Amino acid sequence: MELGLKGKVALVTGSSRGIGRGVALALAAEGCDVMLTGRDAAALNETAEAIRKSGRKAGVAVLDLREKAAPEKLIEQTKRELGGLDILVNNAGATKRGDFLELTDADWEDGYALKFFGHMRLARAAWPLLKERHGSLVSIGGTGARKPTAEFTIGSSVNSAVTGFTKCLADRGKTEGVQVNCIHPSVVETDRTRRRIKARMESTGKSEQAIRDEILGEFNNTIRFGTVEDVADLVTFIVSKRGTWLHGATIDLDGGEIQTP
């Protein structure tokens, strides 16, 4: 299936590992040049080398989007090195779990600093380029927005904010020619997930399979752990010429976790 992505320029945040890296590689495989960004220079350069070997261009920006000036710098670098922007994937950001009464103001501020404010500023900086090329913006949230829980107060709140912000941008995008959508993945097999499994194994003495089964149960017995490729394939479809009528959508990519309409 021809997706019409050859020669497009994509910027993927949090692309040193996990979902971001998978999305960057998937877009490059379909012919996109990609700007990678994160804080792990070695991992970013490794991914960039893999993209270049496939015949596509790859830029690397080692920065922290929590810093207010970083989004503007990133967009300027993308324009300078890759000539413009067609696709923005806001993916970076993790939030701390824990007892609401024990989470500090600093925990809350950090949770919003990257996944909301960093991406809000980046969308604002990127918007003129996306408008110029009738591009696409995809935000990666999480099913915590759809199923808030006591131990995930920060994450559920931030992901809900991501949803609302995405809807607002989609409303603007209808008149300015920018496609905007949001994906809420459920539990995905990443390094972060594997660390969570290992920590629970060490604290409980249970087997890895037992912990995996427990976690799937906590996610409403979702059929399996998601993969990076599951998310990357959906992003690739959305931003392709095959997905142009998908606009303003919030998609639960969750293996059956969320049961509400």
Taking the C-alpha atoms of residue 155 and residue 104, their distance in angstroms, rounded to an integer, is 14
pLDDT of residue 260: 86
CA distances from 243 to 3, 6, 249 (A): 9, 15, 11
CA distances from 205 to 193, 202, 208 (A): 18, 6, 9
Dihedral sign computed on CA atoms, order 252, 182, 234, 244: positive
DSSP 147-201: S--GGGHHHHHHHHHHHHHHHHHHHHHHHHT-EEEEEEE-SB-SHHHHHHHHHHH
Taking the model in full, what pTM does it have? Answer: 0.95
Taking the C-alpha atoms of residue 100 and residue 45, their distance in angstroms, rounded to an integer, is 38
Contacting residues for 116 by C-beta, under 8 A, at least 6 apart:
93, 158, 161, 162, 165
Write out the H or E segment, with its range, that includes residue 89.
Answer: strand 87-90
Cβ proximity of 126 and 11 under 8 Å = yes
* Average pLDDT score over residue span 187-193: 93
Q: For residue 71, with 0-12 CB atoms within 10 Å meaning exposed, 13-18 middle and 19 or more buried, which class applies?
A: buried
Cβ proximity of 65 and 13 under 8 Å = yes
**Band of pLDDT at residue 261, cut at 50, 70 and 90:** confident
Taking the C-alpha atoms of residue 136 and residue 117, their distance in angstroms, rounded to an integer, is 19
Chain segment 140-178, per-residue pLDDT in tens: 999 999 999 998 999 999 999 999 999 999 999 999 999
pLDDT of residue 234: 98
Chain segment 51-100, per-residue pLDDT in tens: 999 999 999 999 999 999 999 999 999 999 999 999 999 998 889 999 99
Cβ proximity of 116 and 95 under 8 Å = no
Q: Which CATH class is domain 9-185+227-249?
A: alpha beta
pLDDT of residue 94: 86
Chain segment 122-149, per-residue pLDDT in tens: 999 999 999 999 999 999 999 999 999 9
Q: What percent of the chain has pLDDT over 90?
A: 95
Q: What percent of the chain has pLDDT over 70?
A: 100
